[in-house]
C-alpha cells in the first residue's frame, strides 16, 4: 500500500478511524483482563478448562480461521484475478471440512499442543520437541506476516506517509497483542476471537448489502461491471488471470488451492481451539457450525471482490497497491463517497484492527504453550513443575516470542514476506496434516514414520521454498536482485503434500510398530473413542 492519494484522509477522516481504533483497543484490553483474571491453572490458561459449548466454539474457530490476510487478500484476489480468485476463495471455504473430520478425535485426545497430540502414539521427548519446532515454524512466520500487514494497513487507514510510519504502527500493535495474550490466555483470546468473528461477519454482510444495492440487487449487472473494470469478460471470467495461461500457471493455481484447502484448518491455534470444547461431540458440532459460517463469509468475499472490480476497477486497485490488499478499503471509501460519509470505511478499519489483534494473540499463545508445556514442563522437567511455574514460563515465552516477532516484522517491512506466508502454509498442509491424519486414523503408523513425516517433509518444504521464485528470480521475490531458483512454483504444496504422506508410509513400513507402540495405540484409540482428558 504505497500510494495513499486515492484515500487522502482529511482531518475529520483521520479523527474518526483513529478514535474508533482507540476505543476498540481499550475494549479488547478490558475484555482480556476481565475474562483472563482467573487464569491460574494450566488447563484454564491453555484450554479455558475445556468449557466452550458448540456455538461459542464455532465463533472462536471462525475467528482463528480468518486472519487479516483472509479479510484483505482474497477480496483483492477476486477483484484482480476474477475467476482464479473465486476458485481460491472456494478452496479456502472448503478447508474447514477437513477439521470437521478431525475435530472429535482431536478433542478426545485430551491434549492441547501439537507435540502432545502427536505423542499419543509414541514414547520419549522427540515427538514433543518436533511438535514444538513445527509450531514455531508455522506460527512465527504467520505472526510476522500479520504484523507487517497490520502496520501497513494501520498507516494506510490513518493516512500516515512519513518514512517509518508503518514500522511504528507495527511496534505499537505488537505490544498491544503481547499484552492481550499474556493476560488473557485462552479465555481472553477466545472472547476477542468471538467478537472479531461477529464484527467481521457483520461488516461483510453490511458491505455486501450496500454494494448489491449499488447495482439495484442485480448480481448480473455487478458481474458485467466487474468484467468491464477487470479488463473484459473474456479475461475476468476466464482462468489464467492470476498466474497466466501456461502449464506452470495452471499448476500454480492448483497448488495454491491445495495449500489453502489442506493447511488452513490444522495450524496450531486451531488445534488449541478444538481442545477447549466441552467434549468430542461438541467439538464436532462447533466445526460443523464453523463450516457453514466460513462458507457464507467467503461467499461474501467473492461478492465484495466482484463489487470492487466493478466500482473501483482493477487499474485503480493496482495503482494503489499492486498486491490488491487495499481493494476492501477502496470499495468502502467509494461506497462512502456515494453516501456522503465515512462510516463504512471506519467500520472496515476497526474490523481489520480487531482481526489482527485476535489472530496474532492466538498465534503467540499457541507458540508459547508449546514451549512452556512441551519443552519446559514435559521434556526438561519431566512433568514435575507446578501450574504456577509453568504459567510463569508461558507468559515469559509470550513476551519473548512477541517481541522477537515484532523485531522481525520491523526488519522485514520493506522486504517481500510472500516467502514466509507461502512456507508456513505449505508446512501446515504438508507436515502437520499428514502427521495428524496418520496419528488419529492409521493403526500401523510408527515412531519412525512420524519422525520421517515431521522432519523429512519439513526439509522438503524448506528446500523447494528456498529454491523457488518467492526467494529469488522474480520482482516479488525476497532477494529480487538474485536468481538461483530452479523450482518453478511459488506454492509448493502440490509436491510437498504427497511427499509428507509418502514419507510417513515408507518410514512406518521400514520400521513397524514396537510392542510398546502397539499398546500406546490401543490406549490412544480407547481415549479417542471415550474422550478421557489427558495433557
Neighbouring residues of 306: CB distance < 8 A, sequence distance ≥ 6: 78, 79, 222, 223, 226
Query: Given this model, what pLDDT does residue 13 score?
Result: 45
Q: What is the mean pLDDT of residues 325-351?
A: 80
Phi, psi of 111 (to 5 degrees): -120, 160
Distance of CA 100 to the CA centre of its chain: 17
- Host domain of residue 240: 5-415
Nearest in space to 493 (alpha carbons), one of 415, 438, 417, 434: 434
Q: Mean pLDDT score of the chain, rounded to an integer? A: 83
CB 439 within 8 A of CB 445: yes
Helices (H) and strands (E) in the chain, counts: 24, 0
- Indicate whether 15 pLDDT > 50: no
Considering 75-89, 229-243, 511-525, the range whose residues carry the highest mean pLDDT is 75-89
Query: Given this model, what pLDDT does residue 12 score?
Result: 44
CATH number for the domain including 176? Answer: 1.20.1730.10
For residue 443, being part of any structural domain is answered with: no
For residue 484, being part of any structural domain is answered with: no
How far, in Å, CA of 418 to CA of 411, rounded?
Answer: 15
For residue 427, being part of any structural domain is answered with: no
> Can you name the residues that pair with 52 across neighbouring β-strands?
277
For residue 377, being part of any structural domain is answered with: yes
How far, in Å, CA of 121 to CA of 517, rounded?
Answer: 6
For residue 474, being part of any structural domain is answered with: no
Q: What is the mean pLDDT of residues 130-147?
A: 91
Number of structural domains the chain divides into: 1
Segment among 64-68, 139-143, 446-450, 494-498 with least mean pLDDT: 64-68
How far, in Å, CA of 137 to CA of 424, rounded?
Answer: 7
Q: How far is CA 39 from CA 57, 180, 353, in A?
A: 19, 13, 25
Q: What is the pLDDT of residues 370-407, one digit of tens each?
A: 999 889 988 888 878 888 888 889 888 988 988 898 89
At 165, the pLDDT band (50, 70, 90 cuts) reads confident
Query: Given this model, what pLDDT does residue 358 score?
Result: 80
Q: What is the pTM of this model?
A: 0.88
- Indicate whether 2 pLDDT > 50: no
Segment among 36-45, 54-63, 202-211, 456-465 with least mean pLDDT: 36-45
For residue 89, being part of any structural domain is answered with: yes
Considering 19-28, 94-103, 192-201, 285-294, the range whose residues carry the highest mean pLDDT is 285-294
Query: Given this model, what pLDDT does residue 140 score?
Result: 92
How far, in Å, CA of 477 to CA of 487, rounded?
Answer: 13
For residue 130, being part of any structural domain is answered with: yes
Query: Given this model, what pLDDT does residue 26 score?
Result: 64
For residue 190, being part of any structural domain is answered with: yes
User: Phi/psi zone of residue 473: left (φ > 0), alpha (ψ -120 to 50 degrees), beta?
Assistant: left
Tell me the chain's radius of gyration from C-alpha atoms. Answer: 23
- % of the chain residues with pLDDT over 70: 90
- Quickly count: other Cβ atoms within 10 Å of residue 292's Cβ: 12
Length, in residues, of the chain: 535
Q: What is the mean pLDDT of residues 94-114?
A: 87
At 8, the pLDDT band (50, 70, 90 cuts) reads very low
How far, in Å, CA of 77 to CA of 464, rounded?
Answer: 24
Query: Given this model, what pLDDT does residue 452 score?
Result: 94
CA 267, 271, 272, 274 torsion-angle sign: positive
How far, in Å, CA of 198 to CA of 217, rounded?
Answer: 24
- Indicate whether 485 pLDDT > 50: yes
- Indicate whether 1 pLDDT > 60: no
Neighbouring residues of 247: CB distance < 8 A, sequence distance ≥ 6: none
Residue 125 is classified by DSSP as S
- Quickly count: other Cβ atoms within 10 Å of residue 305's Cβ: 28
Amino acid at each position: 500500500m504505497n500510494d495513499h492519494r486515492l484515500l487522502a484522509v482529511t482531518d475529520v477522516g483521520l479523527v474518526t478511524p483513529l478514535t474508533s481504533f482507540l476505543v476498540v483497543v481499550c475494549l479488547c484490553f478490558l475484555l482480556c483482563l476481565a475474562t483472563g483474571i482467573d487464569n491460574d491453572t494450566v488447563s484454564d490458561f491453555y484450554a479455558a478448562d475445556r468449557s466452550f459449548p458448540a456455538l461459542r466454539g464455532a465463533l472462536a474457530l471462525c475467528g482463528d480461521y480468518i486472519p487479516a490476510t483472509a479479510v484483505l487478500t482474497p477480496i483483492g484476489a477476486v477483484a484482480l484475478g476474477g475467476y482464479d480468485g473465486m476458485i481460491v476463495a472456494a478452496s479456502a471455504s472448503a478447508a474447514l471440512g477437513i477439521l470437521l473430520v478431525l475435530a472429535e478425535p482431536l478433542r478426545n485426545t485430551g491434549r492441547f499442543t501439537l507435540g502432545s497430540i502427536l505423542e499419543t502414539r509414541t514414547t520419549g521427548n522427540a515427538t514433543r520437541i518436533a511438535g514444538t519446532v513445527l509450531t514455531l515454524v508455522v506460527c512465527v512466520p504467520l505472526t510476522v506476516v500479520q504484523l507487517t500487514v497490520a502496520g501497513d494497513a494501520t498507516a494506510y487507514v490513518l493516512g500516515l506517509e512519513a518514512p517509518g510510519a508503518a514500522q511504528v504502527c507495527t511496534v505499537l500493535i505488537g505490544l498491544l497483542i503481547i499484552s492481550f495474550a499474556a493476560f488473557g490466555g485462552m479465555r481472553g483470546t477466545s472472547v476477542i476471537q468471538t467478537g472479531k468473528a461477529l464484527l467481521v461477519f457483520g461488516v461483510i454482510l453490511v458491505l455486501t448489502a450496500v454494494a448489491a444495492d449499488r447495482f439495484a440487487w442485480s448480481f448480473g449487472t455487478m458481474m458485467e461491471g466487474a468484467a468491464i473494470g477487470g479488463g473484459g469478460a473474456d479475461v475476468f471470467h476466464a482462468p489464467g488471470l492470476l498466474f497466466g495461461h501456461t502449464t506452470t500457471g495452471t499448476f500454480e493455481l492448483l497448488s495454491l488451492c491445495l495449500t489453502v484447502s489442506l493447511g488452513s484448518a490444522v495450524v496450531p491455534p486451531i488445534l488449541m481451539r478444538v481442545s477447549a470444547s466441552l467434549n468430542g461431540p461438541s467439538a464436532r458440532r462447533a466445526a460443523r457450525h464453523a463450516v457453514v459460517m466460513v462458507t457464507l463469509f467467503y461467499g461474501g468475499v467473492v461478492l465484495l471482490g466482484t463489487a470492487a472490480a466493478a466500482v473501483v476497477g482493477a487499474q485503480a486497485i493496482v495503482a494503489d497497491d499492486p498486491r490488491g490488499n487495499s481493494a476492501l478499503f477502496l470499495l468502502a471509501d467509494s461506497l462512502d463517497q456515494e453516501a456522503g460519509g465515512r462510516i463504512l470505511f471506519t467500520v472496515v478499519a476497526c474490523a481489520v484492527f480487531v482481526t489482527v489483534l485476535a489472530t496474532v494473540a492466538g498465534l503467540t499463545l499457541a507458540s508459547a504453550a508449546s514451549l512452556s508445556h512441551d519443552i519446559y514442563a514435559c521434556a526438561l522437567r519431566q512433568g514435575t513443575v507446578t501450574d504456577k511455574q509453568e504459567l510463569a514460563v508461558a507468559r515469559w515465552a509470550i513476551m519473548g516470542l512477541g517481541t522477537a516477532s515484532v523485531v522481525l516484522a520491523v526488519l522485514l517491512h520493506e522486504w517481500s514476506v510472500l516467502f514466509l506466508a507461502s512456507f508456513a502454509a505449505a508446512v501446515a498442509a504438508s507436515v502437520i496434516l499428514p502427521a495428524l491424519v496418520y496419528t488419529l486414523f492409521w493403526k500401523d503408523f510408527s515412531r519412525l514414520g512420524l519422525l520421517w513425516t515431521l522432519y523429512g517433509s519439513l526439509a522438503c518444504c524448506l528446500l523447494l521454498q528456498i529454491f523457488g521464485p518467492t526467494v529469488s528470480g522474480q520482482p516479488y521475490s525476497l532477494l529480487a536482485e538474485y536468481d538461483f531458483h530452479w523450482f518453478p512454483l511459488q506454492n509448493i504444496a502440490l509436491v510437498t503434500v504427497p511427499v509428507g504422506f509418502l514419507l510417513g508410509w515408507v518410514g512406518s513400513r521400514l520400521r513397524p510398530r514396537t510392542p510398546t507402540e502397539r499398546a500406546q495405540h490401543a490406549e490412544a484409540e480407547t481415549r479417542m473413542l471415550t474422550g478421557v482428558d489427558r495433557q
